[in-house]
Structure 1
Amino acid sequence: RIAILGPSGMGKTTLATAALHDPSVVAVYSQRWFIPCECAATSFDIAALIEAHLGLKAEKNAIKHVTQALEKQPRCLLILDNLETAWDPLSVRTGVEEFLALLTAIDHLSLIITMRGAERPAKVHWTRPFLKPLEPLSDDAAQQMFIDIADDIHDPMEVNKVLQRTGNMPLAIDLIAHLVDCDGCPSVLSQWELEHTTFLSTGYDRASNLDLSINSSLTSPRFTSVPGTMDLLSLLSILPDGLSNSQLQHIEFPHDVQSCRAVLLATSLVYMDVMGRLKSLVPIQEHMHHFHPISLQLVRPIQDYLFHGP
């Protein structure tokens, strides 16, 4: 029972897909299903999707139907991708968790879910040690991913400049490397200065549109449930060095800053660095600058505190 967690664009679906097709996994599980759940709003919707992927006739009680069908299967692997759509709203969360508990009660069924954020659904005995939420790639891994897509023919200094724009976020690297492969680093860097993340947002789904991927987190029920969360993220996006906990406690912020901080961490839109400072990734900073710029009303008291102290 594994939950693959992390921010949008961090490669959760890619990792789950790789696991699905790994030869060692194929050798163990005679039946494997990968089920996208982005359009599922409730546990019943999830059950109906599983029903369809198993080739079952739709029944009124889809949850009972799929549970009974899976109990009759040989050893099997079920991957539920983008489960956050159904799990995020508090009004239906308990139902989703109870359905997951029913699935994981089937001894011969292994379950993998992918979800934006850093929280695992309750009521499931997740395999320990827990898989940590996915983080940006290391510099070496980011370089290798770029080379795998755009080849090792570009000026290393220019490649480094390109990768700095991605924050080592896998989706951003994938999109920008394909552009470099077509147009070269100088052209891509020039376009980035003009368009920023919109330059990497020409597709129509979250796998090919960076802004759409980020926006899916900004519009989630978890994010919108606490007033001021957008303001705090906008603030962090103009502070490359982030804020310490002490600074968060002393800044003049018109909302409950600790509640906003908790939501941002839970949705993986920000992270704590090794020094304990709250930061946002470069692509998220750029997205916020373009679509949700910070208000002057909020900037002025922050400037006063940072330059003059409490």
Structure 2
Amino acid sequence: MPPSKITGILVDNIVATVNTVIPLLNELHDGFGPPFILAISNTAVSLMCALQNMKRNKEECCQLTENIHGIISAIVNLYLQSETPGSLPPAMLEHVGKFTETLHKIHTFVEAQQDSNKIKQFFRQNQMSALLKDCRTGLQLALDNFAITSQVTLSHDINEMQTKTRRMHAELPRIDFSSLRLHNFGSWFFHVPNFEQVPDKIFYGRDSELTQIVQMLTQQCAKIAILGPGGIGKTNLARAALHHPDVAAKYKDQLFVSCESATTNVEVAGLIGAHLGLKPGKNLTKSVLSSLAKKSTCLLILDNLETTWEPLNSRGGTEDLLSTLTDIPHLALIVTMRGAEHPAKVQWTRPFLPPLAPLSAEAARQTFNDIADYYHESKDIDKLLQFTDNMPLAVDLMAHLVAYEG
């Protein structure tokens, strides 16, 4: 059989299997509205259309998409087996979020294979090679995270899964939502893609910064930059503000978008669009702005934005995106970035939050003790802390090392 016909059959099989799990995602979204599910569904539908229209690199496209059915099945099954209806533990939810980003990248790669212009192909060759590498890495990570081998996809009974999803959906009105809390996260768990529990102990020595941010956010839809060197705790401080009861009470919609994988403002907009559940496209900036403008109140956190802001060739676009976002009056914005410089073109709320400094010696000791509380010899703790310079990330890593190794 000619290779083209074999590829055509393979494409048809991939599309058919993915189409069997799309209704499961829709049932799950309609019943519980968990983060990322709508984005995965919309992206998968669009991806299957792009797969059928590709003109080049068909083998690579098939390799990238042949396991998507199994991964989606695994995600749905995790929700069906969870103790709390319609929710997942934060660590697993992080895996779902990362898969959503990978699925968007796969869609971008496959959609680019529809272009038959050889000149464009030549100039985009390096870009596509880097994107393909990211897709493969992200896909393998998803296969590992959801315990799926690349050779074997899951064989769940689709009809049984769909029946269980509908039954859970039908029982939804009888569920006491006040009891649907995971650890100490609170009701915002159903609105925010929270990637990990942030214990209060992490914020020893950050009370003043947290108080200032909460006051700014509750008094107005503030625009705040959390700055400082790497490992200083910028992300954890942003999450602490997001989780604060006063902030959660004011902002009906909350989005935490990790931007370290983005290299341009268009990719940042794509990540925001994924969290909003928008259908993927070449440039989602207008769709993102329109969607955010329709919300009554919203807090948007762009974490690790330095990836797109530090390079001079992408800085202007990043600042333009921030400027248009801050033009939305009811949108509060927090960005976390390495360094001490605020991006231009944004009316940042004053007074500026000072760049974060290392923890005090006492705060570092408290953090360390909470993580490795069995390690009681203070002289040894002091000796270990000397290696951390009281940097929160270093303290955390050292404490976990002690906890595991003794």
TM-score, scaled to structure 2? 0.44
In the alignment, what sits opposite 2:405?
183
Find the aligned partners of 1:37 and 1:8 in 2 and give their Cα distance. 15
Structure 2 SS opposite 1:167: coil
Query: Is structure 2 residue 361 aligned with structure 1 residue 151?
Result: no
Which AA in structure 2 matches 1:170? P
Alignment of 1:129-208 (within 5 A): 129-151=351-373, 153-184=375-406
Find the aligned partners of 1:39 and 1:151 in 2 and give their Cα distance. 35
Alignment of 1:117-128 (within 5 A): 117-128=339-350
Structure 2 SS opposite 1:46: helix
Match of 2:298 among 54, 76, 79: 76
Find the aligned partners of 2:245 and 2:369 in 1 and give their Cα distance. 25
In the alignment, what sits opposite 1:226?
none
Per the TM alignment, residue 161 of structure 1 is displaced from its structure 2 partner at its CA by 0.7
Q: Spell out structure 1 runs of 4+ moving beyond 6 A.
A: none
1:205-233 Cα distance to aligned partner (Å, 9 max, x none): xxxxxxxxxxxxxxxxxxxxxxxxxxxxx
Find the aligned partners of 2:352 and 2:340 in 1 and give their Cα distance. 11
Which AA in structure 2 matches 1:140? E
Per the TM alignment, residue 154 of structure 1 is displaced from its structure 2 partner at its CA by 1.5
Match of 2:271 among 34, 41, 49: 49
Find the aligned partners of 1:153 and 1:106 in 2 and give their Cα distance. 50
Find the aligned partners of 1:61 and 1:157 in 2 and give their Cα distance. 56
Alignment of 1:85-100 (within 5 A): 85-100=307-322
Find the aligned partners of 1:27 and 1:33 in 2 and give their Cα distance. 14
Match of 2:243 among 5, 13, 21: 21
In the alignment, what sits opposite 2:332?
110
Find the aligned partners of 2:271 and 2:259 in 1 and give their Cα distance. 8
Find the aligned partners of 2:283 and 2:270 in 1 and give their Cα distance. 9
Per the TM alignment, residue 18 of structure 1 is displaced from its structure 2 partner at its CA by 1.3
Find the aligned partners of 1:62 and 1:158 in 2 and give their Cα distance. 53
Find the aligned partners of 1:32 and 1:124 in 2 and give their Cα distance. 20
Q: Is the 8 A contact 2:264 2:317 kept in 1?
A: yes
Per the TM alignment, residue 60 of structure 1 is displaced from its structure 2 partner at its CA by 3.8
Find the aligned partners of 1:151 and 1:132 in 2 and give their Cα distance. 31
Q: Is the 8 A contact 1:59 1:65 kept in 2?
A: no
Q: Is the 8 A contact 1:44 1:62 kept in 2?
A: yes
C-alpha RMSD of the superposition = 1.1
Which AA in structure 2 matches 1:44? V
Q: Is the 8 A contact 2:224 2:334 kept in 1?
A: yes
In the alignment, what sits opposite 1:211?
none
Bigger Rg, which one? 2
Q: What are structure 2's unaligned runs of at least 5 residues?
A: 1-222
TM-score, scaled to structure 1? 0.58
Residue identity over aligned pairs, in percent, reads: 60
**Which stretch shifts more, 50-59 or 165-174?**
50-59
Per the TM alignment, residue 73 of structure 1 is displaced from its structure 2 partner at its CA by 0.8
Per the TM alignment, residue 152 of structure 1 is displaced from its structure 2 partner at its CA by 5.8
Find the aligned partners of 1:61 and 1:163 in 2 and give their Cα distance. 46
Which AA in structure 2 matches 1:32? Q
Which AA in structure 2 matches 1:151? D
Which AA in structure 1 matches 2:304? N
1:124-166 Cα distance to aligned partner (Å, 9 max, x none): 0111110111110001100110111011642111111111110
Which AA in structure 1 matches 2:273? E
Aligned residues, how many? Answer: 184
1:248-307 Cα distance to aligned partner (Å, 9 max, x none): xxxxxxxxxxxxxxxxxxxxxxxxxxxxxxxxxxxxxxxxxxxxxxxxxxxxxxxxxxxx
Per the TM alignment, residue 183 of structure 1 is displaced from its structure 2 partner at its CA by 2.9
